């Protein structure tokens, strides 16, 4: 698969980055190289190979999940300007 300058501009727009016209050809080459590597990976025969979740075959020792807090909710939220149901209330932030 090969891409052109219009796709480079579209990727830049989706990533919300400004791409100068002078940089388009460099990014075009880099993206085409990446797609070439992906095409090479597709050629690898993975028949009979089980999918892995991790490169480590060892299991992880899990610890018991228990609370060790020496402070009460009331003490923690005591200096909060606003609290509700034992939680801090903060202004809504939306970009």
Phi, psi of 37 (to 5 degrees): -65, -40
More confident residue, 89 or 53: 89
pLDDT at 43: 93
Q: Are 4 and 28 in contact (CB under 8 A)?
A: yes
SS3 of residue 19 by DSSP = coil
Per-residue pLDDT tens digits for 6-63:
999 999 999 999 999 889 999 999 999 999 999 999 999 999 988 887 777 777 788 8
Q: Which domains, ranges and CATH numbers included, belong to the chain?
A: 5-42 (1.10.20)
The per-residue DSSP string of 2-16 comes to ---HHHHHHHHHHHT
Residue 87, H or E segment: strand 87-88
pLDDT of residue 1: 67
68: pLDDT strictly greater than 90: no
Cut 0.75: pTM above it: no
Match 């200096």 to its residue by tokens: 79
Which residue is it, tokens 């219009």?
A: 6
């Amino acid at each position: 698969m090969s891409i052109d300058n219009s796709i480079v501009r579209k990727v830049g727009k989706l990533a919300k980055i400004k791409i100068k016209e002078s940089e388009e050809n460099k990014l075009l080459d880099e993206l085409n190289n990446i797609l070439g590597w992906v095409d090479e990976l597709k050629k690898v025969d993975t028949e009979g190979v089980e999918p892995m979740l991790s490169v480590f075959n060892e299991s992880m020792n899990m610890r018991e999940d228990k609370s060790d807090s020496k402070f009460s909710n009331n003490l923690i939220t005591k200096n909060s300007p606003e609290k509700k149901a034992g939680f801090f209330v903060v202004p809504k932030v939306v970009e």
